[in-house]
Structure 1
Amino acid sequence: MKLIIQIPCYNEAETLEVALNDLPKHIDGIDEIEYLIINDGSADNTVEVARNWGVNYVVSFRNNKGLARGFMAGLDACLRNGADIIVNTDADNQYCGEDIEKLVRPILNGEAGMVIGERPIDQTAHFSPLKKKLQHLGSWVVRKASKTDVPDAPSGFRAYSRHTAMRLNVINEYTYTLETIVQAGRQKMAVTSVPIRTNAELRPSRLFNSMFGYVKKSMLTIGRALMMYKPLYCFAWIAGIFGVAGAALGIRYLVYLAIGNGEGHIQSLILASMLIIIAVLAGVIGLLGDVISANRKLLEEIQFELRKMDYGQGHEEGKDDIAEKTKEQNI
């Protein structure tokens, strides 16, 4: 059983060695542990620090492409190099490396394919009261959208089985954390959480410049993911809202017409017609989206089978490593 721990990096030379030193060298049930960094266009000596420490793999972008693209490139490299379990952690040492054993245990026991580390948000000193409330609110929204019970959706401290990693697709360019939960929940993947510890903050977060910007991008990401996987559900709600409003205005006009006062309420009739037309259009879009979603499922199954052919089955099926260790891949 092979574990690869991946770390997305963007100008992390000052903190990367601290994070690497905190990673485990042995876990019961794991035969081999290797380490991979994703150099997301760093302008400092992040790669040099990683090589001097002794990481096994470096995936490099020539320019910064964002956390989501880096995450998927890391998954690809881990799968190609025979990982049976992939753990994603941060280069700023936010998460306690010893807790990686907690993350991989449900996968080793066959209980889950995706495991998310649940941070003690309310006890984290460097989180402001507003950020704590928004973290809880965002996780609640993701739980409703994904039909999972993940308590800490934005957590980037995660473990994936080989099978689950081959099924993941991230479309947005902002972050992988929210979209992958919605995708996993809607595809009935086995997702669970384990409590983990966090370390003191070494640097401010670089994922967002303001709390408003973070909330806006997160809501857009969740909404887009939900529309991709449940378009009929989303547009049925839109059609229902406009349809009910249009019907109410139409009934109101008919009441006035019945009492002989309809001429002064033509505006209500026009507005009711417009709302009902919008409702019908939303319903049609929902049906078209549902057909596209069905085709997407077929394409995802094809992609999964192609990935199995490309990456190999992994150690759990008794296969040998299929990819040579490549010290650096430029993308």
Structure 2
Amino acid sequence: MKLVVQIPCLNEEETLPLVLASIPREIPGVDEIVVLVIDDGCTDRTVEVARDHGVTEFVHHVRNQGLGRSFHDGVIRALELGADVVVNTDGDNQYPQERITDLVQPIVAGKADIVIADRQVHLVEHFSWAKKQLQKVGSAVVNRAAGTKLPDAASGFRAYSRESLILLNTITRFSYCMETIIQAGNKNLKIASIPVVTNAKTRESRLFKTTPEHIAKSAMAIIRSFIMYKPYVIFSWLTLFFGVVGMIPFLRYGVLWTQGEQGGHLQSLLLGVLLLTMAMLCVMLGVVADLIRTNRVLIEDNLEHTKRLRFGDSAEESLVRHGLSKVTYERVESSPS
């Protein structure tokens, strides 16, 4: 059993030594632990510091590509290294690396595909009241879209099984956290959560400059992921909304007509026609989006097979390795009569 701990870094020379020093050297059920540093366009001594602390595996970006891309490239390299479990943490020492042992145990035991650390947001001292509430709302929205019950969907401290990484395909470049949960939930992967206590704040977040920017980017990532898997839900609600609202002007016109006001009020009819037209457009967009969703499923099947060929995995071998095989096959040779 090989564990790869990947650390996306952007100018983390001051805090990276703390992260590397606190990563466990031995974990029950794990035979080998490899540390992988993703250099996301660092301009300081992050890479040199990592090498000085014994890190031998790196992914380098010439320019800053963002957290989502760093996660994606780190996962690809980890799979190339033969990782059975991949843990993602941060280079700013936000997370307690000593809890990596607890994070990977449900996967090692074959009880989960993904394990996410619950930062217990209400206990994080440097989070304002507004930010804590936004975190709760964000987690609730993601859980609704994914069909999960996770207390902290935005946490980046998490462990993935090899099989889950074969099945997941990240697209968002802002942050992979929300997208991977929505994908995993819709692919019926088992997601577990363990509570942790985060370390003291070392710097400001580099993912966003302001809270409204964070909300906007997170909302776009959630909506995009939701539409990919359940477009009929969104377009059905939009159709219902525009259809109901579009009938109101016609009802108003009918009431006025019965009251003898038979002249004018054409603006009501025009507004009603416009709203009902939008309802019909939503129906058509929903049909197209659902066809695209079906096509995406077929493409993801091909991507899964491509990954298995690239990384030398067969589906049955990977599932059996993690105790997650849901299908068994048997051939019985008929005896000659």
User: Same-fold call, TM > 0.5?
Assistant: yes
Counterpart for residue 7 of structure 1? 7
Counterpart for residue 332 of structure 2? none
**Residues in 2 aligned to 1:25 and 1:180: alpha-carbon distance in whole angstroms:** 28
Two-structure CA RMSD over aligned residues (Å): 1.5
Deviation at 1:178, TM superposition (A): 0.8
1:246 aligned partner, one-letter code: G
Counterpart for residue 291 of structure 1? 291
Counterpart for residue 225 of structure 2? 225
| 1:262/1:160 CA distance change after superposition, 3 Å | farther
**Residues in 2 aligned to 1:263 and 1:100: alpha-carbon distance in whole angstroms:** 75
* TM-score relative to the length of structure 1: 0.93
Q: Which range moved further: 284-293 or 127-136?
A: 127-136
**Residues in 2 aligned to 1:189 and 1:236: alpha-carbon distance in whole angstroms:** 26
- 5 Å matches for 1:175-214? 175-214=175-214
Q: Can you list the C-alpha shifts for 1:130-152, whole angstroms capped at 9, x where unaligned?
A: 21111111111111121111110
**Residues in 1 aligned to 2:285 and 2:22: alpha-carbon distance in whole angstroms:** 50
2:276 aligned partner, one-letter code: I
Counterpart for residue 282 of structure 1? 282
Question: Are the aligned partners of 2:120 and 2:152 in contact in 1 as well (CA < 8 Å)?
Answer: no
Counterpart for residue 43 of structure 1? 43
1:148 aligned partner, one-letter code: T
- 5 Å matches for 1:21-170? 21-170=21-170
Q: Structure 1 segments of 4 or more deviating over 6 A? A: none
Question: Are the aligned partners of 1:247 and 1:272 in contact in 2 as well (CA < 8 Å)?
Answer: yes
**Residues in 1 aligned to 2:318 and 2:11: alpha-carbon distance in whole angstroms:** 36
Question: Are the aligned partners of 2:15 and 2:92 in contact in 1 as well (CA < 8 Å)?
Answer: yes
**Residues in 1 aligned to 2:91 and 2:183: alpha-carbon distance in whole angstroms:** 25
Deviation at 1:272, TM superposition (A): 0.6
2:158 aligned partner, one-letter code: R
Q: Can you list the C-alpha shifts for 1:24-63, whole angstroms capped at 9, x where unaligned?
A: 1111011111100100000011111111111131000000
Deviation at 1:117, TM superposition (A): 0.4
Deviation at 1:106, TM superposition (A): 1.2
Question: Are the aligned partners of 2:235 and 2:285 in contact in 1 as well (CA < 8 Å)?
Answer: yes
**Residues in 1 aligned to 2:2 and 2:85: alpha-carbon distance in whole angstroms:** 6
**Residues in 1 aligned to 2:131 and 2:118: alpha-carbon distance in whole angstroms:** 16
**Residues in 1 aligned to 2:277 and 2:127: alpha-carbon distance in whole angstroms:** 47
**Identity over aligned residues, as a percent?**
44
Deviation at 1:280, TM superposition (A): 0.4
**Residues in 1 aligned to 2:256 and 2:111: alpha-carbon distance in whole angstroms:** 62
| 1:274/1:132 CA distance change after superposition, 3 Å | same
Q: Which range moved further: 197-206 or 81-90?
A: 197-206
Question: Are the aligned partners of 2:163 and 2:318 in contact in 1 as well (CA < 8 Å)?
Answer: no
| 1:229/1:316 CA distance change after superposition, 3 Å | closer
SS of structure 1 residue aligned to 2:136: helix
Gap regions ≥5 residues in structure 1: 320-331
Relative contact order, higher structure (CA 8 A, sep 6+): 1
Deviation at 1:169, TM superposition (A): 1.4
| 1:26/1:262 CA distance change after superposition, 3 Å | farther
Q: Which range moved further: 308-317 or 117-126?
A: 308-317
Question: Are the aligned partners of 1:99 and 1:197 in contact in 2 as well (CA < 8 Å)?
Answer: no
**Residues in 2 aligned to 1:102 and 1:155: alpha-carbon distance in whole angstroms:** 16
**Residues in 1 aligned to 2:273 and 2:136: alpha-carbon distance in whole angstroms:** 41
Gap regions ≥5 residues in structure 2: 322-337
Counterpart for residue 329 of structure 1? none
Deviation at 1:318, TM superposition (A): 9.3
Counterpart for residue 324 of structure 1? none
SS of structure 1 residue aligned to 2:43: coil
Question: Are the aligned partners of 1:139 and 1:151 in contact in 2 as well (CA < 8 Å)?
Answer: yes
Counterpart for residue 19 of structure 1? 19
Q: How many correspondences in the alignment?
A: 319
2:233 aligned partner, one-letter code: Y
Deviation at 1:255, TM superposition (A): 2.2
Deviation at 1:316, TM superposition (A): 5.5
SS of structure 1 residue aligned to 2:5: strand
Counterpart for residue 324 of structure 2? none
Q: Which range moved further: 261-270 or 173-182?
A: 261-270
**Residues in 1 aligned to 2:95 and 2:312: alpha-carbon distance in whole angstroms:** 31
Question: Are the aligned partners of 1:254 and 1:262 in contact in 2 as well (CA < 8 Å)?
Answer: no
Question: Are the aligned partners of 2:112 and 2:190 in contact in 1 as well (CA < 8 Å)?
Answer: yes
**Residues in 1 aligned to 2:159 and 2:212: alpha-carbon distance in whole angstroms:** 29
